[in-house]
Amino acid sequence: MAPARDSSSLLREAGLRATAARVALLNALCATHKPLKAAELRRSAGRGMDLVTVYRAMDALEKAGLAKRIGVDRTSASWEFAHRAHHHHLVCRGCGELEDVGECAVEGLEKRVLGKSKRFASVSDHSLEFFGTCRDCASAARAA
């Protein structure tokens, strides 16, 4: 999925400088339909940028609302292009492979959840992940 307008314009419209690193990262992000980790982003962006730059740039993209951070596991973060329909993820317990799950059956549950809580003032957001085994890991396990 290429962005509606080129990445530089998107960046500038979001109030960010259209630097080479950010453009490359945003392109990489748009080109993929699954969340990318910092190291994958650097690889996909294809110009030897520092990992630190990836983190800082993604931080900027995130604040500007162009990228969305996915907190699937506790070992490393991933990001995906933000201008996408709300959806969830399927995660492999073996290799960490990620796949999108199109539908969201949880919309509208947030209010109910908040209503039952005494300690919370608001609920803005939710995340739903399904865990399982991808075919590769399943056959690897069978072979072992």
Instruction: Give the residue ranges of the annotated binding site.
Output: 86, 92, 95, 107, 126, 134, 137
CA distances from 128 to 41, 59, 90 (A): 23, 22, 9
Q: Please give the annotated binding residues for Zn(2+), written as ranges.
A: 92, 95, 134, 137
Largest CA-CA distance found in the chain, in angstroms, rounded: 52
Is 6 an interacting residue with respect to DNA (CB under 7 A)? no
Is the CA virtual torsion 60, 64, 67, 69 positive or negative?
positive
Choose the contact partner of 73 out of DNA, its own copies, none; CB within 5 to 8 A by kind.
its own copies
Is 38 an interacting residue with respect to DNA (CB under 7 A)? yes
Site string for its own copies, 118-137 (x = CB under 8 A): -xxxxxxxxxxxxxxxxx-x
Inter-residue contact 108 to 115 (CB < 8 Å): no
Site string for DNA, 49-88 (x = CB under 7 A): xxxxx-xxx-xx-------------xxxx-----------
Inter-residue contact 94 to 137 (CB < 8 Å): yes
Range 83-142, binding DNA (CB under 7 A): none
CA distances from 30 to 3, 5, 70, 125 (A): 6, 11, 15, 23
Range 53-92, binding its own copies (CB under 8 A): 71-77, 90, 92
Region of 32-40, 84-92, 94-102, 136-144 interacting with DNA (CB under 7 A)? 32-40
Distance in angstroms (rounded) separating the CA atoms of residues 66 and 30: 10
Choose the contact partner of 86 out of DNA, its own copies, none; CB within 5 to 8 A by kind.
none
Residues with Cβ within 8 Å of 71's Cβ and at least 6 positions away in sequence, in order, are 77, 127
Of the pair 9, 127, the CB lying nearest its own copies is at: 127
